[in-house]
Structure 1
Amino acid sequence: MVVTAEEAPGKMTPQLWRVCWVIVFGAFAGMLDTTVVNVGVDTLVRDLGTGLGAVQWVFTAYLIALAVSLPACGWLTRRYGAGRLWLAALVAFTVASALCAFAGNIGWLIALRVLQGLAAGLMVPAGQTVLGEVAGPARLGRVVSTLGIVVSLGPAIGPLLGGLILHSLSWPWLFLINIPIGVAGTLLGLRYVPRGERGTAHRPDGTGYLLIGVGIPAVIYAATAWGETGTFASPRVFLPALAGIALLVAFCVRTRGREHPLLDLGLFGNRTFAVAAATTFFTGPAMFGAMFLLPLYFQVLGGSDVVTTGLLMIGLGAGSAIALPLAGRFTDRYGGGAVALWGSVATLAATVPFAVADLPVDGVFVQALLVLRGMASAFLMMPVGTVAFAAVTRSQLPDGTAQINIVMRVGGAVGTALFAVVLANALPDGPAMAFRTAFAWLTGCSVAAVGLTAWLWRVQRRNRAVAGTMA
């Protein structure tokens, strides 16, 4: 039986650690899949006898499907329980991975990637809800930091593992590696993960789901197309962008006056949650932009192949994995706002050298910067999410985790597109100048992150002062 926060406030129990690591085990499959498959573009084009445009949909369809399922997570959690939803999503993800490996053509592969994305979109926030329910605010930082180890290691290990697989095996093994992880995670989850309480959730708002379920993917698709085309003037970019924004505005208007909305947007009336959500969105470009630029930096300027690039990127994930446990303890002790402010300042310090100096691509100094950036990201993204989850009540947690994930996904998509456009437009000046320009923009985003985390720190400090006065 899991010890709840009320039974042992502030203490990390063995039962809680077991739940935490099982959730992490399941999340590892999703994070690994995303980064491993990304290195297989050329192989899929060749082995499936199709074009680059069609293969691109293997990745785009996954991201869009993931965004489609996120708005439904809150209602499904209230209806069936967070643990049951997490288990069902993990099983669906594992089955979809096996089917992807046996897809006979590009059409079937794209369709099955949609199923994978739908499952992944439910698995992440459902797992976060489970952890929030069993941990409570006093232990949330340490628990979420453990989940963050997977988030940081996935992008570092995935490209290297994908390159090794494609060097020795065929592309179906990019998906087959998920099977043992998914099966083991399911068996452990059946034993250790609490199912959660079945609720009496009201009938879902079908019209509202249609509005947001189409609006979010439309915005993400527009951002992706913007990065590919390099211009917002293309109908492929501005038409889905305008349609997506209009649908999201309509969803907000419809939701505002409803007694039982699909997503409780009233959470943004909580100032702490609102500032944490804004920080999550606007720090996305600073974090995801680096994940887009750095592999290209090694490949274009250094001529590294996929495997070498994966090895060079390990420092980033290793830095995060090393710092996350410490970041979790600091968050529980000092507050997520203060820790995130430290992280944003360190992120800025690790970014500026790429924008102002001609760095040796594979030098020791560059690797030191990657480790610093990895450690800084552990002190930035995880504490902000912890602040958001701790700011809501237990009953609001399903909606809170879903909304933070939506904000993070949209912010990440916009950030990646932004740096793709900046880099493409600067390439005529030469690769070295193009990357310095892109990293200069990344520096600007890092400065914005410092300002936002300082705002979050001030809000938390004011809340503590008010609470102390009332006490």
Structure 2
Amino acid sequence: MWRISLVIVFGAFVSMLDTSLVNVGLDAIGTDLHASLAQVQWVASAYLIALAVSLPLCGWLGRKVGVGRLWLAAFAAFTVASGLCALAGDVGWLVALRVVQGAAAGLLVPAGQTILGQAVGPQRLGRVMSILGIAVSSGPAIGPSVGGVLLNSLSWQWLFLINLPIGVIGIALGLRYVPRGERAEVPRLDWTGFALIGLGLPMFVYAVTRWGERATLADASVLVPLVLGIAGLVAFGLRRREHPLLDLRLFRDPVYAAASTSSAFIGAAMFGAMLLFPLYFQILRGADVVTTGLSLISLGVGTMIVLPLSGWLTDKYGGGIVALCGNVLSVVTTLPFAFLGAGTSAVTLQILLFLRGLALALSAVPAGTTAFAAVRREQLPDATTQVNILQRVGGAVGGALFAVVLAQHLPGGAEHAFQLAFWWVTGASVVAVGWTIWLFLAQRAAKAERPLATVAT
């Protein structure tokens, strides 16, 4: 079990690291490839859009070829695409290769979660998922600092070459330890459903990201993809089919519905704050990229230290109560940033970031783990895909919302703008507390029903 878990971590870490690692080098890439800022931005955007497109396919592909084979193929494609990105001679080829890289990354995390869920069962799922959570949470956190260190002494190509040794080791271990999974008879791919969600999800993510950049919904580059994205997602949700691309009937289970939707709101507060913290150090405190990355290490350390405990607590007491405590702690550790100014001591900031890392460990993983534990083994591919989609959407909306608040108030003073933005993060964490209360109550009701069902039997 632990061997499989540690191997799966390789794929999760490298895919999540890349979401923030390359962003640091966009300026260097644009200069070297003689590309404009608008062109080079697509190096980051293409990755995220392709990731969103491939996510809905994970469940269907996992059943068709075996989820272990899918994971190995996605990891291999990601690694090869990384090497080719370093060889790209112009920005057009680099963007195209980033599409391949992003599509592979979109399959790695949910496929890995499915492998673990099917291998260990619900009783130990929390402890195992907490190991995967270390990679998922630490990757984006350390990406800027790793990227800054690499660019300090090496060329931008090393932002991609760094993936090669990780990929080779991970694939070699995966070939030895990862179970290939069972091939199942699957219906034809729901092409109409894939077209709707394959258009709607990336359009929506792109639109809210642009909203955060432009700070207005009136811009056509925001409004048009936003309308198309919402229309596609709504049409997919309303569509009725015997064998849909994603089985939305899972949401009939109260525990699954509460846990999966809680993940979306937790994702909004978590990823939204991860966008603000680097800007906080760079704009308000004048730190460079490397210093900013090093300043955020305490956040990742707090998360990594407590995640194993978080998994054990989830298995023992249920994810609802653990996630509730984690979100309450998130509120407590975010609220001070709404009052702190530019002259706050570095020690105070590091203590708060460390404590917020503890809160993240106690909130994000338990909610997702509870969703996976609420479904049957054969439903795990759909569950992992849906939870990842909700986390992505929640993170995109949270990041865009907080970026808009910050951008609109920066002209009036950076200190006031950041304080106001952190009030919004605190509010998002309060909403997440409300949703995890629902999860806690749903879990308690489900436990109360089980003895009655046993007696009736």
Q: Which bracket does the TM-score occupy, shorter chain normalised? A: over 0.9
The 5 Å alignment of 1:66-215 reads: 66-215=51-200
Whether 1:32 aligns to 2:17 is: yes
Whether 1:277 aligns to 2:260 is: yes
Q: Which runs of 5 or more structure 2 residues have no equivalent in the other structure?
A: none
- 2:284/2:342 contact within 8 Å kept: no
The residue type paired with residue 393 of structure 2 is V
- Aligned-partner Cα distance in 1 for 2:20–2:234: 32
- Aligned-partner Cα distance in 1 for 2:104–2:307: 26
Question: Aligned match of 1:460 in 439, 443, 449?
Answer: 443
Match of 1:412 in 2: 395
- Aligned-partner Cα distance in 1 for 2:148–2:344: 20
- Aligned-partner Cα distance in 1 for 2:91–2:410: 32
Whether 1:372 aligns to 2:355 is: yes
CA RMSD of aligned residues (A): 1.0
TM-score by length of 1: 0.95
- Aligned-partner Cα distance in 2 for 1:389–1:457: 15
- Aligned-partner Cα distance in 1 for 2:262–2:238: 23
Match of 2:248 in 1: 265
Once the two structures are TM-superposed, the CA of residue 468 in structure 1 deviates from its matched residue by 2.6
- 1:73/1:122 contact within 8 Å kept: yes
- 1:301/1:361 contact within 8 Å kept: no
The residue type paired with residue 36 of structure 2 is G
**Structure 1 pair 453–327 and aligned structure 2 pair: CA distance change class (3 A):** same
The residue type paired with residue 236 of structure 1 is S
Match of 2:295 in 1: 312
Once the two structures are TM-superposed, the CA of residue 153 in structure 1 deviates from its matched residue by 1.8
- Aligned-partner Cα distance in 1 for 2:377–2:48: 29
Once the two structures are TM-superposed, the CA of residue 93 in structure 1 deviates from its matched residue by 0.2
Aligned length, in residue pairs: 454
- Aligned-partner Cα distance in 1 for 2:399–2:117: 29
The 5 Å alignment of 1:210-359 reads: 210-254=195-239, 256=240, 258-358=241-341
- Aligned-partner Cα distance in 2 for 1:36–1:240: 26
Match of 2:343 in 1: 360
- Aligned-partner Cα distance in 1 for 2:218–2:295: 36
- Aligned-partner Cα distance in 2 for 1:462–1:321: 32
- 1:298/1:361 contact within 8 Å kept: no
- Aligned-partner Cα distance in 1 for 2:345–2:209: 29
The residue type paired with residue 365 of structure 1 is T
- Aligned-partner Cα distance in 2 for 1:157–1:361: 23
Partner secondary structure for residue 296 of structure 2: helix
Once the two structures are TM-superposed, the CA of residue 58 in structure 1 deviates from its matched residue by 0.6
Match of 1:51 in 2: 36
Partner secondary structure for residue 382 of structure 1: helix
- Aligned-partner Cα distance in 2 for 1:116–1:182: 12
Match of 1:41 in 2: 26
Partner secondary structure for residue 186 of structure 2: coil
Q: Report runs of 4+ in structure 1 exceeding 3 Å deviation.
A: 359-362
Once the two structures are TM-superposed, the CA of residue 317 in structure 1 deviates from its matched residue by 0.4
Over residues 39-84 of structure 1, what are the superposed CA-to-partner deviations in whole Å (9 max), with x where a residue is unaligned? 1122112211111111111111100000000111110011111100
Once the two structures are TM-superposed, the CA of residue 361 in structure 1 deviates from its matched residue by 4.9
Once the two structures are TM-superposed, the CA of residue 311 in structure 1 deviates from its matched residue by 0.5
Q: Percent identity?
A: 61
Once the two structures are TM-superposed, the CA of residue 356 in structure 1 deviates from its matched residue by 2.2
Once the two structures are TM-superposed, the CA of residue 359 in structure 1 deviates from its matched residue by 5.7
- Aligned-partner Cα distance in 1 for 2:377–2:58: 15
- 1:355/1:437 contact within 8 Å kept: yes
Once the two structures are TM-superposed, the CA of residue 252 in structure 1 deviates from its matched residue by 1.9
Q: Which runs of 5 or more structure 1 residues have no equivalent in the other structure?
A: 1-15
The residue type paired with residue 315 of structure 1 is S
- Aligned-partner Cα distance in 2 for 1:165–1:362: 28
Match of 1:13 in 2: none
Over residues 84-124 of structure 1, what are the superposed CA-to-partner deviations in whole Å (9 max), with x where a residue is unaligned? 00000000000000000000011111110000000000111
Comparing 360-369 with 437-446, which one deviates more in the overlay? 360-369
Once the two structures are TM-superposed, the CA of residue 362 in structure 1 deviates from its matched residue by 5.2
Whether 1:386 aligns to 2:369 is: yes
- Aligned-partner Cα distance in 2 for 1:28–1:229: 30
Question: Aligned match of 2:49 in 45, 49, 64?
Answer: 64
Partner secondary structure for residue 380 of structure 1: helix
Match of 1:424 in 2: 407
